Amino acid sequence: MTNKNNKAVKRFRLISFAIGAIGIYIIGTALNTMLFHADYWRQVSKRFVSDSLSVEATRGNIISADGKVMVASLPQYRLFMDFVVIDADEKAREKAQAWRDSALNADIDSIAEGLHEIFPDKSEAWFRKRILEGRRRGSHAWNLYPGMATYIQYKQAKELPLLRETAFKGGFNPERVMLRTKPYGSLASRMLGNLSKDSAKATSGLEWCYDTILRGTNGIMHRTKVRNKRVSFFDREPMHGHDIVCTIDATMQDIAEKAIRNKLKEVNGEKGVVILMEVKTGDIKAMVSLSRCADGYYETQNDAINALWEPGSTFKTGSIMVALEDKKITPETIVETGSGIYSMHGRPMKDHNWHKGGYGTLNVTDVMKYSSNIGVSRLIDEAYHDQPEKFVQGLYNLGVGIPLGLPMGANPRVRMPDTNKQTGNWSKTALAWMSIGYETQIPPISTVAFYNAIANNGKFVRPRFVKAEMEDGEIVREFPVEVIKERICSQQTLRDIQTILEKVVSEGLGRQAGNKRFKVSGKTGTAQVAENGSYASHAYMVSFCGYFPSDDPKYSCIVCIRKHGLPASGGGQCGPVFSEISQQVMNQGAYRDASKAADSTSVFVPEFSKERTAAATGVVPDVAGMGARDAVYMMEKAGLRVRLQGTGTVREQSIPAGTKNAKGRTVSLRLQ
């Protein structure tokens, strides 16, 4: 055998020996792990599985049209304690466990006393017993407090003995949870919506309609120990939800809520609704749905978009427009209303002043000014009695009774006549009563959308609740203005009805909805409410729907009140609410102050100075005087992390306003 072959054989034997040694080492390590450290790795494996967690994505905020955070996700904490040390090195484990047990024994009274001061609803004795029970059970994740802790409470707990140590050393391991809060309390609460307390799933309002945008996608992480340290690994990072900018104006909402609540208290009303809509865009600037409860008026259900009520006399506008459009009448057409009581196919039709002798002879304009039931029903019945389907189709052509295609709410019910004697749904009196707002069910949002089309020179726009979707302060999608009908009627019909509606306020029953500073147009409504299948003589729905200013309409608005007992007047009871809202909205100086709408931890900021809006220019914003929620929003919008100290409003910020911003920096805010 040559030297060359000998060298090759030796090299082969050396490599084989090395491979064999490595194999023996691997097998030995595996046997050592299985035989001598099996218990340890079973515990690690168990904790690895139990700590494989879904990481909740931060739900996006809902921001008002005027830049206020109406709904936000803020951090709160579950305070978990791990009483058992796990370590592969048994001596190290025993030493760490002995230290943790000793420290707990020495400091348990101080810990219990401190937790009681932070959470006074539980006694010092309760916390002491709770801690000892967790240790007795050898729990790895023992909840020290059954509720949620705020950021400030969590930081206070971290200052207590033992709890101030690292998670590995002391065992204190809180879990951060994002919870949904409304900085402005109940303001627009039904429109904004809610999440289920149990499952955190969206159940109503904008929260539900735009849930796919707001909720984001949860991530997955697991926790294990590497070199005696707890380390978190993301298997999939969460994709946080986007913000949405809704159309609500926080100040206008506050104005509307206060106005209708005060009137409900005055007249002892059962329900009250206000919807304020921007004419050109269809943006819902305010939406209120109050119901009487044992201790006041609250938003228990969204009647503004869900309630199918018979609209009463506000419906007369559509009836008259159908006849005007078909040239059955003109504003000067004469109708005889007599003494205020008229037999309509054997059923008495009454005007509200029948007991005073009625209105006698009226033209169409006066019929609307005085809201004559007899006048409207006679005009429509005489024109369409033999063709009721033509009248209803005329309403549809105007946009009355058609579905609005909204992301939430009920569709109106204006039924098409079926005059078949055997199967039909139509009586001889149906048309007459439909023409004055009975025999139909229409949610308030549909009524105000129709009046908005009149104000918008015939263009019927869909009510809009959300304007944009945002990510990290940048608009990523806009929701455009949507037109349902480019033109609801001819220009002549439009001019005629606009003139009539202005005279209803300036000369007719709608005077109390008017304003000395600008013209208002609209129509009053009063209807009896059906209870248990029949109309109750003591239950009423009163309303006023219109727009302002008449010459160049900016906003349309509907006010509805449901009440028992007389007096019951749309003009007299809803008109003043409409007037108050329109005046404050048009008064630029007055409607910019809604500080009383905010809660104790949020300050309403009417107009941001250049320093406050500095986030957009790459410098640190000025949040002095703001509440916690607004301050956190402004700083996070600028890309900064926030650490809060104290409660109340911001008194100091660690990074001065105007400093060149570096995203990711942490700014401390001291509140007092």
Q: What is the pTM of this model?
A: 0.73
Interval 303-336: pLDDT, tens: 999 999 999 999 999 999 999 999 999 999 999 9
Over range 350-379, report the average pLDDT. Answer: 94
Report, as an integer, the average pLDDT of 150-179: 88
C-alpha–C-alpha distance, residues 59 and 508, integer Å: 51
Nearest to 288 by CA among 310, 243, 257, 246: 257
- Residue 609: band (very low, low, confident or very high) from pLDDT cuts 50, 70, 90: very low
C-alpha atoms less than 13 angstroms from C-alpha of 270 in its C-beta half-sphere: 12
Structural fold of domain 600-671: Trypsin Inhibitor V; Chain A (3.30.10)
The residues facing 464 across adjacent strands are 283
pLDDT computed for residue 425 by the predictor: 77
Query: Cβ neighbours of residue 182 under 8 Å, at least 6 residues apart?
Result: 70, 71, 72, 189, 192
Q: List CB contacts of 33: < 8 A, sequence separation 6 or more.
A: 41
Is the pLDDT at 49 greater than 50? The verdict is no
Q: At what angle do helices 316-325 and 373-384 cross, to 10 degrees?
A: 40
53-246 and 600-671 in the same fold? no
- State residue 32's pLDDT score: 56
On the question of pLDDT at 475 being above 90, the answer is: yes
> Region 486-507: what's the mean pLDDT?
98
Parse the chain into domains and list their residue ranges: 3-36, 53-246, 250-415+426-586, 600-671
Helices (H) and strands (E) in the chain, counts: 20, 26
The helix/strand/coil state of 138 is: coil
Task: Average the pLDDT over 614-626 and give the result.
Answer: 68
Distances (CA, A) of 118 to 111, 161, 277: 11, 14, 46
Q: Is the dihedral of CA 196, 201, 204, 205 positive or negative?
A: positive
What's the angle, vertex CA 402, arms to CA 399 and CA 408, rounded to 5?
120
Q: State mean pLDDT over 340-350.
A: 94
- 578-598 residue pLDDT tens: 999 999 999 843 333 333 333
Residues 216 and 432: their CA atoms lie apart, in Å, by 53
Query: Residue 79 has what DSSP assignment?
Result: -
Q: Judge contact between 315 and 432, C-beta under 8 A.
A: no
How confident is the model at residue 132, as a pLDDT? 94
Residue 477 identity: R
Average pLDDT over residues 107-121: 94
The proportion of the chain whose per-residue pLDDT surpasses 70, expressed as a percent, equals 81
Report which residue type is found at 297.
Y
**pLDDT number for residue 15:** 66
Q: What is the pLDDT of residues 73-85, one digit of tens each?
A: 888 889 999 999 8
* Residue 432 pLDDT level (bands cut at 50, 70, 90): very high
pLDDT tens digits along 179-226: 788 888 889 999 999 988 766 788 999 999 999 999 988 777 666 655
Whether residue 608 has pLDDT greater than 50: no
The superfamily in CATH containing domain 53-246 is Penicillin-binding protein 2a (Domain 2) (3.90.1310.10)
* Sheet strand arrangement including 555-564: 296-298, 284-293, 271-278, 555-564, 534-548, 521-531
User: Structure tokens of 437?
Assistant: 């707002």
Query: 3-state class of 186 per DSSP?
Result: coil
Q: Most confidently modeled of 213-217, 493-497, 640-644? A: 493-497
Phi, psi (rounded to 5 degrees) for 452: -65, -35
Cβ–Cβ under 8 Å, residues 571 and 511: yes
652 membership: H or E segment, kind and range:
strand 650-653
Residue 473 sits at the vertex; the CA angle it makes with 470 and 474, to the nearest 5 degrees, is 60
| Cα 239 from chain centre | 22
- Segment 245-271 shows an average pLDDT of 95
Question: Helices (DSSP H) in 456-535: which residue ranges?
Answer: 491-506
Q: What is the CATH number of domain 250-415+426-586?
A: 3.40.710.10
Torsion of CA 234, 636, 661, 158, to 10 degrees: -70
- Separation of alpha carbons 556 and 554, rounded Å: 7
DSSP 574: I
Return the structure tokens found at 608. Answer: 């941001």
What value, to the nearest 5°, has the Cα angle with vertex 478 and ends 444 and 557? 20
As a whole number of angstroms, the distance between CA 40 and CA 375 comes to 91
Quote the CA–CA distance of 342 and 613 in Å, as a whole number.
65
